[in-house]
Structure 1
Amino acid sequence: MSGPPPRPLLKVCGATAPGDIEAAATGGAHCVGLWHGVPGGPRELDPDTLTALASAARSAGLLAALVTFLADARATTELARRTGVGWIQLHAYQSPAAVRALREALLPDVRIVKVLHVAPGGGGCVERPLIGAYERAGTDLFLIDAATDDGRIGSTGHALDPGDVLALLPRMTRPFLLAGGLEPTNRPRYADVTRAPGFHGIDVDTAARSPLTGRFGVPEITALTRAWRTAPATGPARFRHPPAPLEPSR
């Protein structure tokens, strides 16, 4: 008999210091996002700091994810090899061709996460017609996030309409993470999303932070872990890949 389905993972995004890594691990997160190549981003890291924090994350039993707007496959591959990240999360609007070039250049155990941006007010998802092409190019995992009326993307704090998320799922054969204004209190709103077969976990920035310091907070991350019923991390090797196995990229 097969065992129970894997519990979803929790990714907290935008670590900038060792204390953020410690809070993420203590609070029960599985994955920590590290920004580089995000022009004007408030949590942008230089390559040396990114490398150090990725190492600290692995030592703490966390999966390190590079979060980037970069579209240059060669530069992104060099950075991934230097830092040892397990995931590369492509924000912005990189093309399927860019994903394919990255997939061909990367080590096979580095996962590619492509963000799909959903506009507010039923504005749809600009990448919707390309989902199949992204999968064929080598995307391992999607992340569904909110864009804003003024075009901002990434850690906007804006919540998605569950119906807009569900409307994308028939086009996808890869697992997905949910992002966009997620908090401990709004999990019931996304009950149908969390029951979808491809649901793989959540990605949180704002709600993982202490309102007093603006840094990752153990109480805040613990509250997310409990409310979204994610499983605690248990060691450095466990989250090299997502907890549910992914099919090979086609």
Structure 2
Amino acid sequence: MPVQGKICGLSDQTSVDTAVSHGARFIGLVFYPSSPRYIDPELAAQLASNVPDNVDKVGLFVDPDDFLIQTVLESVKLDWIQLHGSESPDRVRVIRQKFGIRVLKAVKISDKADFEEAKSYEKVADMLLFDAKAPKNMANALPGGNGLVFDWRMMQGLEFSIPWMLAGGLTAENVAEAVKISGAEIVDTSSGVESEPGRKDPAAIAAFLAALAEIER
């Protein structure tokens, strides 16, 4: 089975079209105002309007209240809500039940103990996402999309009861190694396909998805 790819933080039509035409399984739209990848619901609706049904649209939120989620959903038909903040398992459960949309919960990783936190979300989320945890002394760190990589070897031997996605500093150059070491079947990139924070590089998107297509599992 081919490795599936998610291109996150898309903010212009060319990048969306490139991701879709080169085989992305998921596209990510960021609704976190502090992110350089943030877009408003109106633009998100335009970008999502021609995305085919076989490509899932994921809305990224960070510790959102219900009003923000509802406001976005009134404009954009999302297939997934991605929670990339410090949402508790109970909060994840409430969001999933209230809005009736699949939830992708991000867990930040710096050491193997962080995977224990992930276990607490298995019964309330539909998928997990493992991203690199930013060090406390990192200036202007974001909840995700910092271009950091964690040690994929920590994932060897781990099992989860729901699907999971690997993120954190993935590029066309390192994604094959990441998949080989971690066993990931789905991968996510954002900063790894950018020319600068918030500006996607269509050539890098195409190269990343081409690299996925060449991985033999």
TM interval, shorter chain, is: 0.7 to 0.9
CA pair 216-85 structure 1, distance change in 2 beyond 3 A: farther
2:121 is matched with: 134
What residue identity is the alignment partner of 2:107? L
- Within 1, Cα distance between the matches of 2:214 and 2:87? 30
Residue 222 of structure 1, CA deviation: 2.6
CA contact 1:13–1:205 (8 Å) conserved in 2: yes
Cα distance in 2 for residues equivalent to 1:9 and 1:104: 27
RMSD of Structure 2 on Structure 1 (CA): 2.6
Q: Is the 8 A contact 2:18 2:206 kept in 1?
A: no
- Specify the alignment match of 1:117 in structure 2: 108
SS of residue matched to 2:21: helix
Q: 1:202 to 1:115 in 2, by over 3 A?
A: same
**Deviating more after overlay: 202-211 vs 10-19:** 202-211
Q: Secondary structure at 1:83's aligned position in 2?
A: coil
Q: Deviations over 1:135-180 (max 9, x none)?
A: 222x01111001221363311111121123337x33x211111111
* Contiguous gaps of at least 5 residues in structure 2: none
1:182 aligned residue: 170
Provide the residue aligned with 1:98 in structure 2.
Answer: 91
Query: Structure 1: which 4+ aligned runs deviate by more than 4 Å?
Result: none
Cα distance in 1 between the residues matched to 2:50 and 2:194:
19
Q: Structure 1: which 5+ residue stretches go unaligned? A: 1-5, 232-250
Q: 1:91-240 residue pairs with structure 2 within 5 A? A: 91-107=84-100, 110-119=101-110, 122=111, 124-125=113-114, 128-137=115-124, 139-150=125-136, 152=141, 153-166=143-156, 169-170=158-159, 172-186=160-174, 187-194=176-183, 199-210=184-195, 214-217=199-202, 219-229=203-213
1:209/1:216 contact within 8 Å kept: yes
Report Cα offsets for 1:179-225 as digits up to 9, x if no partner.
1111222222541312xxxx3311011232357x94231x3223222
Equivalent-residue separation in structure 2 for 1:189 and 1:15 (angstroms): 23
Matches within 5 A, 1:74-93: 75-93=68-86
Aligned to 1:248: none
| Distance verdict in 2 for CA 1:96–1:24, change over 3 Å | same
Which residue number in structure 2 is paired with residue 246 of structure 1? none
Q: Which residue of 2 aligns with 1:10?
A: 5
Offset from partner CA, 1:98-127 (integer Å, 9 cap, x none): 1111111123xx3210001012xx3742xx
**Letter in structure 2 aligned against 1:226:** A
Equivalences, count: 209
TM-aligned CA distance change 1:76 to 1:83, over 3 Å? same
* TM-score using structure 2 length: 0.84
**Kept after mapping to 2: 8 A contact 1:114/1:141:** yes
Secondary structure of 1:160 counterpart: coil
Residue type of the partner of 2:205? I
CA shift for structure 1 position 44: 0.9
Amino acid in the other structure paired with 1:112? V
